[in-house]
Structure 1
């Protein structure tokens, strides 16, 4: 029987992440599970000098692994989602960042977390993702995907970008604005939240549109069904340039006249979960919300 493999994704410049990864790798090896890492992540560290550590294929690092274990913040978890895309391998984050909304455990829980991974004691939850493509003159020049959001933003600080927003083939409004966020429910607590959008429970299937500093009477966030097709057209008579970002990681410049189309991706992102606490408890914990005076009958886990 082939040996089980876990891909460790480690922030390459954070000492705390490297030290924790070394602990995780040793615990996995002691349990008979093979840790795998990217050479670029562990080069020049004690973990990188471990002869028992396998180096992943940079072109397909999650191949042959049963789980991607990520040590870092939400940015690192988004990186893990990117590197595991197309493999079906679930991801699990250990929070070393600030909010860590996508993370499932904290560093203090590392021993229990590794034990549960070894025992296969976790659930896998599927989260909606977005597919995006950019066209000009009917010709596609960019295609990508996002777990949290696709944003269309102005490229110049000094100038607004003018765009027409379309839903299911019909125009909604034309805005002069700083940009537009098109988000999943998972992304509703990320950039869309900062832009004034609503928080949407992750089990709700929907797409969000949140304008950023739009100069218009109607510039409210909009929530549409999961089968809706969204589009943004950069007005061709305006010289301002734009840029489209996917999860803040993948980007391309947008010339005037460009069209950006966004819809639900066929392939979801798979998140490994260690607990089934209500989403509202995660919301309260991560945002440090004051619930003093609550007199309900339920008990928070």
Structure 2
């Protein structure tokens, strides 16, 4: 099993050591990434396929883990050591039960949709990336406005100046898209979410499109440079006139789930949503 850890934490070495010891007792070998294995006291992976990828940290750590897991279709299990950690399956105080589930293989797999992205410049595809949460096209210079046309399946939907445009999966609807005012989409819904970022227009609302649609963000050829970011990690500079195409990913990411708690409960717990109202009042 591969461990991807938030190495900036002062206690991560001890957490990794405890995790390795507990898993070893259950017959599970734990390895680390080559560039961080020594720091957390683990043997480095030799690149061989792993059964599961364990992410210890926040959502950023889980997104790094997804990069490692997706090419081999290994599932990812996240344990939150940060604040919200929405993608994580459990918090640090439930670590024992998580490790028990790994040893006993008592878990289920939940497939999550991804988004594949292409950058086209002058009719040539120059860059490809993918995202579990979202891809964003944003202005490269803070003082400028990025002029774009958003298309769905080759047909213009809206044109505006904005800080950028975000195309999110249902998984990412609780991340950047949520902060930008987009709706929350349940993870079993197959769809793409399009969210303008601080658009200067009367009609600049979020849109939910079908899973087989292609969303294109076209930068004004006479406008300014932009920046593409996939999950905020993989970036690419966009010259004026670039066309960025986003579609459902060819490969999903599998997340490990322990227990049968519904998404609604996770949403309420992570965001501390009020669920008691007039129905609970006693007169």
**TM beyond 0.5:** yes
C-alpha distance in structure 2 between counterparts of 1:17 and 1:279, whole Å: 29
Q: Is the Cα–Cα contact under 8 Å of residues 55 and 76 in structure 2 kept in the other structure?
A: yes
Alignment partner of 1:126 is 2:116: no
Q: 3-state DSSP class of the match of 1:198? A: coil
Partner of 1:108: 93
Partner of 2:36: 41
C-alpha distance in structure 1 between counterparts of 2:98 and 2:104, whole Å: 10
Alignment partner of 1:55 is 2:55: no
Q: 3-state DSSP class of the match of 1:15? A: coil
Partner of 1:246: 230
- Give the gaps of 5 or more residues in structure 1: 1-5, 297-301
Q: Is the Cα–Cα contact under 8 Å of residues 128 and 264 in structure 1 kept in the other structure?
A: yes
C-alpha distance in structure 2 between counterparts of 1:89 and 1:294, whole Å: 46
Q: 3-state DSSP class of the match of 2:182? A: coil
Q: Is the Cα–Cα contact under 8 Å of residues 31 and 37 in structure 2 kept in the other structure?
A: no
Alignment partner of 1:284 is 2:277: no
Q: 3-state DSSP class of the match of 1:277? A: coil
C-alpha distance in structure 1 between counterparts of 2:12 and 2:278, whole Å: 37
C-alpha distance in structure 2 between counterparts of 1:182 and 1:232, whole Å: 9
Alignment partner of 1:257 is 2:236: no
Q: How many angstroms does 1:236 deviate by?
A: 0.3
* CA-based RMSD: 1.3
C-alpha distance in structure 2 between counterparts of 1:293 and 1:98, whole Å: 27
C-alpha distance in structure 1 between counterparts of 2:183 and 2:278, whole Å: 23
Deviations 1:26-61 (A, max 9, x none): 0011111111112422324xx52xxxx43113xx4x
* Residue from 16, 24, 27 that aligns with 2:19: 24
C-alpha distance in structure 1 between counterparts of 2:276 and 2:13, whole Å: 38
* Residue from 120, 141, 161 that aligns with 1:176: 161
Q: How many residues align?
A: 280
C-alpha distance in structure 2 between counterparts of 1:272 and 1:251, whole Å: 28
C-alpha distance in structure 2 between counterparts of 1:55 and 1:193, whole Å: 37
Partner of 1:299: none
Q: Is the Cα–Cα contact under 8 Å of residues 192 and 209 in structure 2 kept in the other structure?
A: yes
Alignment partner of 1:77 is 2:54: no
Q: How many angstroms does 1:13 deviate by?
A: 2.1
C-alpha distance in structure 2 between counterparts of 1:90 and 1:197, whole Å: 28
Q: 3-state DSSP class of the match of 1:40? A: coil
* Residue from 101, 105, 121 that aligns with 1:136: 121
- Aligned ranges for residues 80-229 of structure 1 at < 5 Å? 80-229=65-214
Q: 3-state DSSP class of the match of 1:84? A: helix
Q: Is the Cα–Cα contact under 8 Å of residues 236 and 257 in structure 1 kept in the other structure?
A: yes
Q: 3-state DSSP class of the match of 2:3? A: strand
C-alpha distance in structure 2 between counterparts of 1:144 and 1:54, whole Å: 30
- Give the gaps of 5 or more residues in structure 2: none
C-alpha distance in structure 2 between counterparts of 1:219 and 1:275, whole Å: 40
